A = this chain, B = another copy of it.
């Protein structure tokens, strides 16, 4: 398309009066170059504005330095902070994040993965959706790393990072119990992601084990507006809940706002709420939401450090726990 004219190693070599190899070696850590040549090369490079062509280098080294981040709804607070954490970690190890937007369809995840292959990405990190087995197998077979975050379903050779969702959900129940809540509810989206379902099941089963019923409602996406609808449904039930565990914080915000402004309930007096993710808004004084913190930095660290390690025989599974952040949305913290 538009002519690009970048300066190449040859030009630098000519100007510095050395061979092209010398230039290449100057920019290759650990290669053998005399102090004198290096100086002259650097000088010429500086003057000409030379930068090693990472495309060509990637071609030779068979290592592009690119890592593909596959994610939907990336403007959501939790996703955004995870993306940030990961891309930072990647930069620390001199890799760089390629961002691919998907919609919820698994087809679009497949396409994203194909793109990752085309760019010979060193790895792909999947935050949303689930690729077809055939295509993810191709990735692994080709030597591309695969990381699945909160994706539960298994993929051979991939690193799976998950949280102890059920365990957290059980603790949510305990929190409600200590607060003296008796009419429990769970607010979920209806997208049915494994981790969301695990939270639901964990909560319900913990409650049932203690002899409590749970009013479960599922609707829409995991965004604020769905929380509004969920609150309307739950709070107009014959037995009005006095405790709602929300599948994530955005839902919780919608639930809290609706409970307060539409149903005139006081939190935590009339209603206790617990969320999941610990997005920034959870700490805002309008919410003071008690919630489980996703260890985003830890997740990012775990993912990126695995990329540097030599590949073990098979895929790894990494289970992290979510810490409960006590705030004002539950009585008696």
Contact between chains at B119 and A5 (CB < 8 Å): no
Known: A77-B77, A87-B101, A91-B100. 12 other contacts (CB 8 A): A1-B63, A4-B63, A55-B55, A55-B64, A55-B119, A73-B84, A76-B80, A83-B99, A96-B98, A224-B280, A257-B284, A286-B287
Stretch in A36-44, A110-118, A199-207, A234-242 with 4+ CB within 8 Å of B:
A110-118
> Within the oligomer, what is the number of copies of this chain?
2
Q: How far is the CB of A280 from chain B (nearest CB, A)?
A: 7
* Residues 50-95 of A at the B interface (beta carbon under 8 Å): 51-56, 58-59, 62-64, 66, 69, 73-77, 79-81, 83-84, 87-88, 91
Q: Is A6's CB within 8 Å of the partner chain B?
A: yes
- Specify which chain B residues have a CB less than 8 angstroms from the CB of A55 in the assembled complex: 55-56, 58-59, 64, 119-120
| Cβ of A291 under 8 Å from chain B | no
Say which residue of B59, B84, B138 sits within 8 Å of A56 (CB atoms). B59
Q: Are B101 and A98 closer than 8 Å at their CB atoms? A: no
Q: What are the interface flags for A276-319 relative to B under an 8 Å C-beta threshold, 1 for contact and 0 otherwise?
A: 00001100111100000000000000000000001100000000
A87 engages B100 (CB within 8 Å): yes
- Establish whether residues A75 and B69, one from each chain, have CB atoms under 8 Å apart when the complex forms: no
Asked whether B281 lies within 8 Å of A5 as measured between CB atoms, the reply is: no
Q: Which of B4, B98, B287 contacts A142 (CB 8 A)?
A: B4
